[in-house]
Amino acid sequence: MPGSHALRTPPPTMGAEGRGALPVQQLTELIEASRQGYALFDADDRLHYANPAFRASLGLAPGEFPSWEGLMRKGYHASTGTVVETDDFDVWLRSARSRRGKLPYRTIETNLKDGRWVLTTETTLPGGWMLCVLTDVSELGTGLRDLRQERDRALKSALSDELTGLGNRRYAMDILKQKLGPSKAQQMVVAILDIDHFKAVNDRFGHPGGDLVLKDFAAQLALAAGRDDLAGRIGGEEFLLVLQGMDMAQAEDLLRRLLVSVSGRAPLPGAPDFRYSCSAGAALAGPGETAGEVLRRADQALYQAKQGGRNRVVVSPEPAGPPASAAGPARAAAG
């Protein structure tokens, strides 16, 4: 339970070799004594457990159980935990969050502000629970550290949209294909969202004003996406949102609330009366559908939303039979 420093005791189970009940007490004591950091985050990305080594590395007091975002914010402003090199912390946070928990397993190498270099592994279950294990790998040396960090920066740049911090088209499509693969365990809704009349925004306020609108929309989209979901920028003013484990009624409600939130935003300091809106097309991924097929249906629904007056959500009908062969977008360019 949140607020508990001890691991919850599971029901006794037989060991792998049938030697009796799993020694949970000993396992807990070993994790508590380990020099590796262990932490457990729930589906909302809130810390449920952290051993002393993890807390010492990230600058957490024994009674603190923040969200992952809160943990990163605290470290950035208090000069503890992970080294974050950025001129815009919110964009960095969206970029990091866009990749967090999207794969069953991944590794990350980072510097800590106490001078150590650590390898962090993230193991994520369907539904969002995550185990983080932090290992000090400083002994590998500064030369190798610099080389691997340069590699990681290049990889991040190749997968992230520099302006908004969300995953770029390449990253978003790769993750969507994995989510729709043979191992697909949950139903999901795929939505394409497009900022209305964006060309007019650029014409009126110039590209700096357009960039502020794009960043503002990306921030709202990131807030709407859970850790198990996917948010990415796949075109100039076009974005992708994949909602994991939702039925269409739940997804449509979330999208409508997102549109209401966006329409009340005032993202331009020099034009406080300016407002903008967006349109969305959504499709529930059918059994056996490929990424191209479900995106085509979402794209057609977005076209209908644009033709119907914009600032609205249109839902694609579910496929009546076997998925049709993939086709190109049916939508003509619409601002």
* Residues known to be catalytic: 237
**Sign of the torsion formed by the C-alpha atoms of 191, 310, 328 and 166:** negative
Rounded Cα distance, 106 and 96, in Å: 13
Which two three-digit tokens encode residue 26?
């000993």
The Cβ of residue 29 has, within 10 Å, a number of other Cβ atoms equal to 11
- Torsion from C-alpha of 155, 231, 94, 334, nearest 10 degrees: 100
- Lookup result for tokens 């503002």: 216
Residue from 208, 209, 220 nearest 271 by CA? 209
Q: Residue 70 CB: number of other CB atoms within 10 A?
A: 14
For residue 181, give the amino acid letter: G
Q: Bridge partners of 153?
A: none
